[in-house]
Amino acid sequence: MSDAPKPDQAGYYEQEDLLRVDYGPPREDWMRSRASFRPGTFIYPAKPKNLDYIGFPNARQWSPTDEDWKLPANWQEIVLEGIHERLEKYRSFKVFMDICVRCGACADKCHFYIGGGDPKNMPVLRAELLRSIYRHDFTAAGKLLGRLAGARPLTIDVVKEWFYYFYQCTECRRCSVFCPYGVDTAEITMMARELLHLLGLSVNWIMEPVANCHRTGNHLGIQPHGLKDTLEFFADDIEEVTGVRVEAPINRKGAEILFVTPSGDFLADPGTYTCMGYLALFHELGLDYTFSTYASEGGNFGLFTSADMMKRLNAKIYAEAKRLGVKWILGGECGHMWRVLNQYMDTMNGPADFLEVPVSPVTGTRFEHARSTKMIHIVEFTADLIRERKLALDPSRNDGRRVTFHDSCNPSRSMGMLEEPRAVLKGVCRNFFEMPPNTIREQTFCCGGGAGLGTDENMEMRLRGGLPRGNAVRHVRDRHGVNVLAACCAIDRATLTTVCDYWAPGVKVSGITELVANALVMKGEKERTLDFRKEPLRGEEGPRDA
C-alpha cells in the first residue's frame, strides 16, 4: 500500500484541478448521457441491516459501480405508482413538475454546479431528470409527443442517474430563493429520494444514523450510559478550565425545560466545545432543565430519507417532553434540525397542547412566535438574554478571534433566523466581519455536505460544493484576518472544518455558544486562561498560528 492520498481524502485533489471548472455542456443530449460513478463523487449504499431495522423494503447488498443493481422485478411499476401517489399528496410536487419555464436563473445558484460545472447539477436539469419521466407517463403532451415534449421513458439508466444526482443535492434551497416561481429543488430531491427508497436504493451515510436514531435515540448510536459518561466528561473539562463544577441533568422528570441538541455535539469536535458551552451557560443561569437519552437527537436524518421517517424520528421529542412533564423545549445549534422543528414538527407530531408557551425564566420574555410548537432555538434564547443584559460577559476574552458568521442553509432559508445569531456574536466578540452579501443570509452557500452528503467517500463533491463558501471565507480571512468561522449547525461544524482547511486554511470552525461561553464570566470561576479547546482563551499565541 502506498501513502499516496485516496479519493476520500482532501489531499488527493489539487486546487488547480478543482478550480479548472468547465461549464461547457457536453455534445450529447442530456436525455441520453449516463451517470458515471467516479470514486469521490458518490456515496456507498446502505447496509441491509440498517434498512431491515427500520423496515424499509428491498434491503440487499449492491454497488453503484455494478451493472446490475438487483432491482425488484416490478421496479418500473413501483416507481410510477410512487410518483402517482406523491403527486396526489403534495401540491408542491405537482406544481413544480408543471410550471418550470427553464429560464435558467437557478443554474449558477447551486454550489455543486458553480464548483463542478456538471450540467445535471443545474437545479433546472436536476429537476428535469424527474420531470421527463413525469411528462412521459402523466401528461397528455408527453404521451403524444415524447421527446419533443421533453418526455423520456423510465429506464434503469434513469434510476442510476437519479441515485447519482439526487445525492448530489444538499436540499439547501438556495436555487428556490432565485426562482421566479419558487420552484424548490429540495422538494423535488425529497420526492426522488423517496422513490429510490421504494427500490431499496439509499446511502449508508444517511441510513445508518437513521437506524441508530430509531434504536438509541441519536444518530451516533450513543447508548444512555454512554451519553451520561460523555456529559460527565464535558463537566470535568469545564471544571478544569473554569474551576466551576456544572451539572448535566439527564432524564429528570419535572424539569421546566427539555433541552435537545444534535448528537454531533456529543461526539465530534468542534461540536463538543459548543456542548460544553451549553452546559456552562445553563449552569450559570441556574436553568431548570434536562437532557434526554431517549430524545438525544435534535437532528433528523429522516428529513433526508422520507416524510414518514422524519416523523418517526421526530415523534420522540414531544413524546419525551410529555413523559418528563416539562413545560417547554429548547433546541441546540443545528441546521436541518431547525427546518424540521420550524416547518414539520407541529404538523407531524403536534399539537403540543400538554406544553406551555416558552417563557424565559431569566428575562420573562414570552416567545410568542413559538406559541404552538413550544420550542425555541438556543440562539433566540441567548439573544434575548444578551439584549436584557442578564449575562456577565467579557467580550475581550474573544479578542484573539476575528469572527465571521456562516448562515446555515435551513435556519436562513427555512426559518429566517438571521439577526439573532449576529446579535449574539456581536455581544460576545468585538471583531466581527461579514462575508460578501451574495454569500450570506438568505443567499448563503451550503457547506457542500448537508442532506446526508458529508461523508469522506464523497470528498470530491464536498470540496467542489464547498468552494463557494470556502472562497468567501478566504476573502474575509485575507481582508480582515478572520480566523474563526462561527456556525450554528452540527453538520457545518463537521464539514466546514474540511472545507476551510482546504480552501481557507487557518480558519477554524466554532459554534456560537462556544464563543458565548468563552466570554461568559461565571460565578466562582478561577482566572481563566484556557478555552474549552484548552487553547489560550485570549488567543495570545493566536488560533491562527495553532
Partner 1 sequence: MRVLVALAAVVALLVAVSVGIDVLGWRWLFGVIVPYSAGLLFLVGIVARVLDWASSPVPFRVPTTCGQQRSLDWIPPARLDNPSTTLGVAGRMALEVLAFRSLFRNIRSEVRDGRLAHGSNKWLWLGGLAFHWSLLFVLLRHLRFATEPVPRFVLGVTRVDGFLQVGLPVVNASTALFVAALAFLFLRRVTSPQLRYISLPSDYFSLFLLLAVGASGIFLRHFAKVDVPAAKALVLGLMSLSPRPPAALGSAFYAHLFLVSVLLAYLPFSKLAHMAGIFLSPTRNLANDSRARRHVNPWNHPVSVHTYEEYEDEFRERMREAGLPLEKE
Instruction: List binders of partner 1 among 440-469 (CB under 8 A).
Output: 441-443, 467-468
- Does residue number 368 form part of the binding site for partner 1 (CB under 8 A)? yes
Of 307, 359, 362, 530, the one binding partner 1 by CB under 8 A:
307
Q: How far is the CB of 56 from partner 1 (least distance, A)?
A: 12
Task: Please work out the total of residues on this chain that contact partner 1, with binding judged by CB under 8 A.
Answer: 119
- Does residue number 236 form part of the binding site for partner 1 (CB under 8 A)? no
- Does residue number 197 form part of the binding site for partner 1 (CB under 8 A)? no
Nearer to partner 1, 314 or 398 (CB): 314
Of 284, 297, 380, 407, the one binding partner 1 by CB under 8 A:
380
Nearer to partner 1, 66 or 308 (CB): 308
Q: Which of residues 424-443 bind partner 1 (CB under 8 A)?
A: 436, 438-439, 441-443
Nearest to 104 by CA among 133, 71, 126, 75: 126
- Does residue number 390 form part of the binding site for partner 1 (CB under 8 A)? no
- Cβ-count burial 316-354 (b if 16+ within 10 Å, e if not): bbbebbeebebbbbbbbbbbbbbbbbbebbbebbeebee
Of 230, 305, 471, 483, the one binding partner 1 by CB under 8 A:
471
Nearest to 165 by CA among 90, 98, 113: 113
Find the helix or strand (DSSP H, E) in which 486 lies.
Answer: strand 484-487
- Does residue number 365 form part of the binding site for partner 1 (CB under 8 A)? yes
Beta bridge partners of 406: 487
Of 223, 426, 433, 456, the one binding partner 1 by CB under 8 A:
223
> Residue 327 has which C-alpha cell?
413545560
> Residue 24 has which C-alpha cell?
461547457
- Does residue number 125 form part of the binding site for partner 1 (CB under 8 A)? yes
Please, are residues 303 and 229 in contact by the beta-carbon 8 Å criterion? no
Stretch of residues binding partner 1 (CB under 8 A), selected from 159-167, 308-316, 396-404, 513-521: 308-316
| Residues in contact with partner 1, shown as a per-residue x/- string from 93 to 112 under the rule CB under 8 A | xxxx-xxxxxxxx-xxx---
Alpha carbons 502 and 474: distance in angstroms, whole number: 10
Stretch of residues binding partner 1 (CB under 8 A), selected from 44-52, 68-76, 348-356, 516-524: 348-356
Stretch of residues binding partner 1 (CB under 8 A), selected from 413-421, 452-460, 484-492, 535-543: 413-421
> Residue 368 has which C-alpha cell?
410568542
Alpha carbons 259 and 297: distance in angstroms, whole number: 10
| CB-count burial class (<10 Å; 0-12, 13-18, 19+) for 66 | exposed
Listed in sequence order, the residues at least 6 apart from 108 whose beta carbon sits closer than 8 Å to its beta carbon are 114, 122
Q: Which of residues 472-511 bind partner 1 (CB under 8 A)?
A: none
Stretch of residues binding partner 1 (CB under 8 A), selected from 62-70, 115-123, 159-167, 399-407: 115-123
Length reported for the chain: 546
Q: How far is the CB of 20 from partner 1 (least distance, A)?
A: 7
**Beta strands at 289-290 and 257-260: parallel, antiparallel or unpaired:** parallel
- Does residue number 23 form part of the binding site for partner 1 (CB under 8 A)? yes
Alpha carbons 111 and 478: distance in angstroms, whole number: 22
- Does residue number 189 form part of the binding site for partner 1 (CB under 8 A)? no
Of 156, 362, 423, 530, the one binding partner 1 by CB under 8 A:
423
Alpha carbons 190 and 265: distance in angstroms, whole number: 26
